[in-house]
Amino acid sequence: MRPRYIQMNENAIEIQNLSFAYNHHPVLEEVSMQVKKGEFLAVLGPNGGGKTTLMRILLGILKPSRGQARVLGSPPGTLPHLVGYVPQSQSKADKFPITVRDTVLLGRLGHLGRWRHFTDRDSELARQALEQVGMQDCAGRNIGSLSGGQRQRVLIARALVAQPQILFLDEPTAAVDQAFHTRFYDLLKGLNDRGTTILVISHDLSVLSSHVKAVACVNRSLYYHDSAEISQEMLEKVYHCPVELIAHGDVPHRVLRHH
C-alpha cells in the first residue's frame, strides 16, 4: 500500500519551547525539535521520562502547558487522515465485541466520503494490511479472542490501512514474538524508503543498527541526534546514571553500570 501525500514544508514535525505538566508536576520542559519529512526517528529514554506524553501531544490527545507543536504544517490532531498511530498494547481490548476486520477498518474513518460508509477499496486495503502483519486468517474473529501479541498486530494493521504520511508508534513490538519483531521493522523500513515519516518509541537499541536515521533521547528535556549513532555521554544525560553500550555482533545493548 502506497501512502498519498500533500504539499508541506520540509519538516514533518516542528516543536518549539514545549512544556507539559501533570498536576503541576513537570514532565516535559522547554522541548524543541524539528523532524524532516521522510525521517525515521527513534525516541529513547527511561520510563516516566516523557516519551509517551510527547507523542500524545503530537497526536493532539494532550495540550502542552506552554510552547507549540505542528505536525505536517498544522496543529496536532487536525489531520487524522494523514496520521497513523500504534499505541502500547491494550489489555482492555477483550471487552469490545468487534471483529479483527472491523477493527482495522476503523483506520479508514478519516478517509470516508460524504456518504460515510466503507467502500470496496477500504475493505481491500484492510485485507492487505492484515496480510502485511500476518493476521489475514483471523479477520473474522472477535478481537477479544486474540492473544496480546495478536491484538498488537491488529493495531499495527489499523495504523497501516490509513496509508499515513506520518506514523507514530509507542513500543509497537513490546507484546509480539521475536520473529514478527524483525519482520515488522523491515516493513517500517520499506514504508520509510517510500517516503513515510516514522517516529517510534522503543527501548530496543537493536533497532538503531539498521533501520532508524535519527535519535531523540527524552527525560523531561530532549536531546536530538540527526543520525542513528548515540554516544555514552548522550545516554548518561538522559538516564542520569552511568551507561555503557556493548555489542554482540551488530546488536547494541544498553547496560547500566553500578551506581
- Tens-place pLDDT, residues 220-237: 999 887 776 666 666 666
Q: What is the pLDDT, as a whole number, of residue 251?
A: 42
Question: For residues 58 and 196, what is the distance between their CA atoms, to the nearest angstrom?
Answer: 16
Give the range of the structural domain holding residue 177, as residue numbers without chain letter.
11-230
- Name the pLDDT band for 41 (thresholds 50, 70, 90): very high
User: Residue 246 pLDDT more than 50?
Assistant: no
120 falls within a domain: yes
Check whether 182 has a pLDDT greater than 50. Answer: yes
Query: pTM value?
Result: 0.82
Q: What is the pLDDT of residue 115?
A: 63
Whether 87 maps to a domain, the answer reads: yes
Domain assignment present for residue 4? The answer is no
The domain tally of the chain equals 1
pLDDT of residue 124: 96
**Angle in degrees, CA 234, 237, 241, rounded to 5:** 115
- The reply to whether 235 falls in a domain is no
Mind listing the pLDDT tens digit for each residue in 132-146? Answer: 999 999 999 999 899
Domain assignment present for residue 3? The answer is no
Asked if residue 258 is part of any domain, the answer here is no
What's the average model confidence in pLDDT over 192-203?
91
Regarding predicted confidence, which is higher, 114 or 14?
14
Exposed/middle/buried for 99, CB within 10 Å: 0-12, 13-18, 19+? middle
DSSP calls for 177-195: -HHHHHHHHHHHHHHHHTT
Residue range 108-119: mean pLDDT, rounded = 78
The pLDDT-based confidence of 199 (bands split at 50, 70, 90) is very high
Mean pLDDT lowest for which of 55-64, 76-85, 201-210?
201-210
Residue 245 in any domain: the answer is no
pLDDT (average), residues 57-84: 95
123, part of any domain: yes
Q: What CATH number is attached to the domain comprising 52? A: 3.40.50.300
Torsion angles phi and psi, residue 83, rounded to 5: -125, 130
